[in-house]
Amino acid sequence: MKRVITGNQAVAYGVILSRVDVISAYPITPQTTIVEELSELIASGRLKTKFLKVESEHSAMAALIGASTGGVRTFTATSSHGLAYMHEMLHWASGARLPIVLVNVNRALGAPWNIWGDQSDSLSQRDTGWIQLYCENNQEVLDTIVQAYLIAETVRLPVMVVLDAFVLSHTAEAVEIPSIEEVDSILPPFCPDYPIDTQEPRAYSVITTPDYFLEFRYKVQKAMEQVPEVAKKVDDEFKARFGRGYGAIERYGKEGAKVLLMTSGTVTSTSRTVIKKLVEKGLSVAGIKIKRFRPFPSEEICEAIQGAKKIAVIDRNLSAGVGGIFAQELRASLYSREERPPVFGFVSGLGGRDITPELIEEAIQYTMEHPQPEGDIVWLGLKR
């Protein structure tokens, strides 16, 4: 069935199709219509899911930690300040090895107040032990939620599915919605190894001394290292079933291009049209879309950039004092390689300003004209 739906409605469909048992969430713009949609579905009896309407995001994540420990499939959605408020519990969820799925609608953090798209919220959580998957369109949002449960429940780590504020969350486009039976055929019910069972009492998340804590974290890292293989298998199976796959990254544009442009989220869609035009003009450019940010797809990227002389990265986020976070991660990935093309780190579109085709073209032109960037950050569209 094909329907014209917003990104937030696509999230709700993802939740229905994944047969989530417990939702716990707190409203925040621009995530709000997700919780409204889910409340409607539950109230009308179309969705048999328990929805805890908690008093904060911190409690939303804590409740899911309780529910997931209890052995059921869980979901929440948030944005910006809400995600930041959950921060402590994000660490707890990954440390407790709970396969919770969270949708984050990217939004800037105050001060000053801003409700528009900016990746600084999710990227601020990059060290919490969560897998992070970024989406380019509403179809990908729906599909990624189903994939997220498959990955999370295999490696026993939580997954954050990320979409752009308004450009996806509140914008409608055609989405193919699979039937729940079709999804059932690839997503089995959640079967945890050690759910709460009073017949076999256990103590969960017991205080652990320096003698063992390192080993607990080592296991989290080992689980993260399984993700590329597991996610690929999940994506391949998904593609075989539904004809749609995404990969950890996607390369598009000219084969053997000298200049590459790395983007994530909806900026990729705009970049596709710009690059198509430039290639038609005879320029040697290609694009790389980053879908999986954690674990960072270093292997996949290094393979995809072979032969490139320069890499431009557009970051809709800022780690003040360093620069764009995708650029920073890319530089770290390249360091151990023999082939180390210069990385041009463009920062643009913070707080929801449009990253227009003109700006993207400007970034590509700049990269072509300069042998090296004039600093770790090249500001794009900055009013001076």
* Binding footprint of other proteins on the chain (CB under 8 A): 21-22, 24, 50, 52-56, 58-60, 62-72, 74, 88-89, 92, 195-198, 201-209, 212
Q: Are 328 and 313 in contact (CB under 8 A)?
A: no
Q: For residues 298 and 248, give the distance between their C-alpha atoms in angstroms, rounded to a whole number.
A: 10
Q: For residues 151 and 105, give the distance between their C-alpha atoms in angstroms, rounded to a whole number.
A: 20
Least distance in angstroms from the C-beta of 199 to other proteins: 9
Choice between 67 and 249, CB closer to other proteins:
67
Least distance in angstroms from the C-beta of 267 to other proteins: 35
Least distance in angstroms from the C-beta of 216 to other proteins: 9
Choice between 216 and 233, CB closer to other proteins:
216
Choice between 65 and 103, CB closer to other proteins:
65
How does DSSP classify residue 156? T
Choice between 65 and 105, CB closer to other proteins:
65
Least distance in angstroms from the C-beta of 380 to other proteins: 40
Least distance in angstroms from the C-beta of 201 to other proteins: 4
| Angle of the 210-242 helix axis to the 138-155 helix axis, nearest 10 | 140
Helix (H, G, I), strand (E, B) or coil at 254: coil
Least distance in angstroms from the C-beta of 195 to other proteins: 8
Least distance in angstroms from the C-beta of 24 to other proteins: 6
**146: nearest Cα among 180, 193, 106, 112:** 180
Q: For residues 57 and 81, give the distance between their C-alpha atoms in angstroms, rounded to a whole number.
A: 9
Least distance in angstroms from the C-beta of 210 to other proteins: 10
Name the one residue in this structure whose structure tokens are 């300069």.
Answer: 370
357: left (phi over 0), alpha (psi -120 to 50) or beta: alpha
Least distance in angstroms from the C-beta of 209 to other proteins: 5
Choice between 7 and 158, CB closer to other proteins:
158
**234: nearest Cα among 153, 304, 307:** 153
Choice between 24 and 132, CB closer to other proteins:
24
**223: nearest Cα among 292, 293, 153, 291:** 153
Q: For residues 258 and 352, give the distance between their C-alpha atoms in angstroms, rounded to a whole number.
A: 30
How does DSSP classify residue 351? G
Q: For residues 106 and 325, give the distance between their C-alpha atoms in angstroms, rounded to a whole number.
A: 14
**134: nearest Cα among 335, 325, 367:** 325
Choice between 209 and 372, CB closer to other proteins:
209
3-state per-residue secondary structure call for 234-262:
HHHHHHHHHCCCCCCEEEEECCCCCEEEE
Choice between 98 and 108, CB closer to other proteins:
98
Q: What token pair was written down for 275? A: 């690059």
| Angle of the 57-69 helix axis to the 80-95 helix axis, nearest 10 | 30
Choice between 44 and 199, CB closer to other proteins:
199
